[in-house]
Amino acid sequence: MSRLPDSSAVSPGSSPVDTAIWCARRGWPVHPLVPGLKVPAANCPSCRQQSHSAEHCSCLAAGRWCHGFHAATTDLMRIRTWWDTQPQFGVAVSCGPARLVVLDVDAHANGYPSRERLLPGVPIPSAIDLTGLENGYHTLALLAAYRKQQNPCDDGSTLRVETASGGMHVWYSLPTGMRFRSSSGAGAKAALAWQVDVRAERGYVVAPGVRTRKGVYRPVGTVRTPAPLPEWIANELIRTGHGIPSSGEPHGKIPRPLIRRTAEGIDGLTRLLDDVQACASASEGTGFTSKLNVAAFTAGGLVAAGRMSDSEAVARLTRAAEAARPTQQRKIARTIRDGLKAGAMRPLHLEGRS
């Protein structure tokens, strides 16, 4: 059996076991997929009938594949045993223990939904022409343009994989302590953007080079190493509720400072609140919700760092928001609540600043 040296790159011609070993040597736990599909392979009859949970499955304790990412491993002997049993197994990487976040960009030919669902939490003014917007490639590019950042699908510094259905997986690595949950891009409340899924904790992604019935997961370019997750994407994941709080989690406290703020300290919050209140100049097209979201996120960080009380943060945010949109009290309260909660995951410690 051939083995890939650690420095080599996977390709569509690599055998499944070589691909699995290549991933494991990079510290990415793998588990088998049903041959030709992107569905985890079951083992025992009970699992194939979906009649019991992973915690009650004897396969896992015995070192057999079962229940997808619950069985994922970097043990090379176990991997060889699994793929010797079924050489045509596909290969999946468990994102959580691999310290990976993968943006799963879909290219489904569906009519786009209402504007508020394209970029959850980011208002898109009616003046913006959405002609030609068709899929996740476009919504992710739109989000990047809003943030004045590079489109991740064009990020040649990181591992990118064209999927069998015409989409793209953009792989990024996480620093120790930072954690994100998976989501489905189809859900308005859980999405990073319409048709853009997030694969992270309790999620898996098909390994590069794997062939399915629909085609090959083909690596793009020559880069085979995930780059560190860009700060702006981390901020967006936190804003959209993908962050996992450090409290009570086994990975411990999230290190700081890990993400740059768009504003710093109490003075920065004051400037953000001024921007929110200035939205009173027009009834639409001012980015009111987005500005309030950023202000609440920043205030949440200040509260978590002990630099202001929760009641003071709510009062200041509410006062500025209602001055701009006095008839939107319920929406304002919800935006403030969500922003404070997300910001609390990133305490804003800035020694020597007021």
Tokens of 263: 């504003």
Task: Specify the pLDDT at position 130.
Answer: 84
Other C-beta atoms within 10 Å of 161: how many?
A: 25
Task: Specify the pLDDT at position 344.
Answer: 75
Pick from 217, 233, 251, 273: nearest CA to 99 = 251
pTM of the model: 0.68
Rounded CA separation 307/300 (Å): 10
Task: Specify the pLDDT at position 11.
Answer: 58
Cα Rg of the chain (Å, integer): 22
Domains of the chain and CATH, by start? 16-93 (no CATH), 100-239 (3.30.2250), 265-343 (no CATH)
Rounded CA separation 185/165 (Å): 16
Task: Specify the pLDDT at position 107.
Answer: 92
Task: Specify the pLDDT at position 214.
Answer: 93
Q: Is the dihedral of CA 69, 89, 167, 159 positive or negative?
A: positive
Quick one: three-class SS letters along 254-298? CCCCCCCCCCCHHHHHHHHHHHHHHHHHCCCCCCHHHHHHHHHHH
pLDDT in tens, the chain (354 residues): 334 334 345 655 579 999 999 999 999 999 999 999 999 887 777 666 666 666 667 676 667 777 778 888 999 999 999 999 999 999 999 999 999 999 999 998 777 778 888 898 888 888 888 888 889 999 999 999 989 999 999 999 999 999 999 999 999 999 877 889 998 544 445 679 999 999 999 999 999 999 999 999 999 999 999 999 998 999 899 888 898 875 434 333 333 333 344 335 677 788 889 889 988 888 776 778 878 888 888 888 788 777 788 888 999 999 999 999 999 998 899 889 887 887 776 666 544 443
Other C-beta atoms within 10 Å of 27: how many?
A: 12
Task: Specify the pLDDT at position 253.
Answer: 35
Task: Specify the pLDDT at position 286.
Answer: 74
Tokens of 282: 């027009």
Rounded CA separation 125/108 (Å): 24
